[in-house]
Amino acid sequence: MRTSDIRQEFPLLNQQVNGYPLVYLDNAASTQKPESVLSAIGDYYRSLNSNVHRGVHHLSQQATSAFEDTREYVRNFMGASAKEEIIFTRGTTEAVNLLAESFSRGILSPADTVLATVSDHHSNFVPWQQACLRSGAKFDVLPVQANGTISMELLEEKLRQKPRIVVFPHISNVLGIVNPVKQITAMAHAYGALVLVDGAQGIAHCPVNVCDFDCDFYVWSGHKIYGPTGIGVLYGKKALLEQLPPYQFGGEMIEEVEWQQTSFAALPYKFEAGTPAIAEGIALKTALEFVHRVGFDAIGQHEADLVNHAFEGLKDIEGIEIYGEKTRHSGVISFNVKGVYHYDIGVILDQMGIAVRTGHHCAQPLMKFLNIPGCVRCSFAIYNTVSEVEYFVESLQKALRMLR
């Protein structure tokens, strides 16, 4: 598909900001939604609006069928073995909190270690840090190399200490570096550790097959992959999920309630207390169908072309420092310019209609590791164009002339 045709599916992109055509380069934070996803949300409320799993009437049955169709589609999209391994959450953050909270309820002990990385998003860093504080387990952090990649030698040193679980990002939300999920998982398993992969930045950019990865858990958010906010996925191996205690309690996740005790429902409902995000869950399938229609080969090639074009334009700017290794990038470029505050760059670019992200990007441990307070991040999606990249580089140069 041509980029011009794809862009026509995203109505939000057809607007002006401060008198300039919108150039949306904040896709690592949240992607825009195609018309098909917007329609799917509206269609639910217009024709299906009813709670799921609980009613025998027509609307409830139809809504349940559509909601569970998404679960099966997600299972296939991720290469999972069974629908029971797909847990719906509000997003990556809740998915990680679910696991960290469940692990802290009798799974982790003071003899255990959780190994995270310095490049983890706060949503995969803080929940495990806090789980360790509650359980008495040790929280250890793996630094990255100067180019942002994980050293396999240093990782193995950490693994020799027998951590209970290793958590790391599929793709860094700051550096754009794609970590070797399959290799890291195999190494961790060889030392008896479980593996959680934060796929928030991975799911929209490259194929994910959890059986091939052999990871124990993989989490992601719908709004990062052209879907709605408020819906996400926790994949977990069935045998492991069955061992974990529930995260929240209430409707839907129970089997039988007595005065003094309660038994809980089977997977996946054990972890899905209360009314789920039904419209968002149904529309998530539509978003994944859009990605499937475009294809990961096309997405990967297009984003690589945009990143390479941006690198070429940025590399000669005086005083610029780009973080991370170019050869392992995926759709994200983060940088600073010597003598110019990153926030000021973002404000001036916004005045020219360009949306980028500035700050610490919910990755303060990484910022401290890089010895910077924050940076500018531009991130690309399938609907961005080469001309937008060129306009971004030209506007950045203009902004720097204004700020210096």
- Active-site residues, by number, are 362
Give the other-Cβ count within 10 Å of 13's Cβ.
17
Structure tokens at 47: 């024709």
d(Cα 329, Cα 401) in Å, to the nearest integer? 28
Place of tokens 């600073």: 336
Please name the residues in contact with 216: beta carbons below 8 A apart, sequence gap of 6 or more: 165, 194, 195, 196, 236, 237, 240
**Which H helix or E strand runs over 391?**
helix 386-403
Spatial separation of the C-alpha atoms in residues 301 and 219, rounded to whole Å: 24
CA dihedral (307, 313, 316, 318) positive or negative: negative
Task: Read off the tokens for 262.
Answer: 């309660």
CA 298 distance to own-chain centroid:
20
Identity of the amino acid at 81: S
Tokens matching residue 314: 């940025």
Q: Pairing state of beta strands 138-142 and 332-337?
A: unpaired
Q: What are phi and psi of 249, to 5 degrees?
A: -125, 150
Calculate ∠ Cα 6-7-10, nearest 5°: 105
Q: Residues with Cβ < 8 Å from 283, sequence gap 6 or more?
A: 37, 40, 41, 44, 227, 228, 231
